[in-house]
Amino acid sequence: MANVKFTLKSITREINKAEKKLRALRSKVVKADLKRIDLNLRSLRRAQGIIGVVCRPTLHYGQTFRTKSK
């Protein structure tokens, strides 16, 4: 069998960057647009939570294997 390795680190990094940008813009925006920014922030948090739950490391014989951090 082929040994396939992939990570979702780049996706979670992009989510974090987008969240930081939205938080920075939040103080500069008119009150009418605050609701839209809050909804976007909430959806980013949900997306990150779903990725964390669905894409957990697989368990092999009761052990969890993870990649080394750089």
Give CA–CA dist 26/21, Å, rounded. Answer: 9
Return the ∠ at Cα 41 (arms to 47 and 9), rounded to 5°: 40
Domain ranges of the chain: 10-57
User: For residue 57, what are its two tokens?
Assistant: 């490391």
- Tens digits of residue pLDDT in 1-42: 455 555 666 777 888 888 898 889 888 888 888 889 899 899
Residue in the structure block whose two tokens are 């989510």: 15
pTM of the model: 0.60
Q: What span, in angstroms and rounded, lies between the C-alpha atoms of 51 and 12? A: 8
The residue with greater pLDDT, 51 or 38, is 38
State the Cα–Cα distance between residues 21 and 56, nearest whole angstrom. 27
3-state secondary structure of 33: helix
Q: What is the pLDDT of residue 42?
A: 92
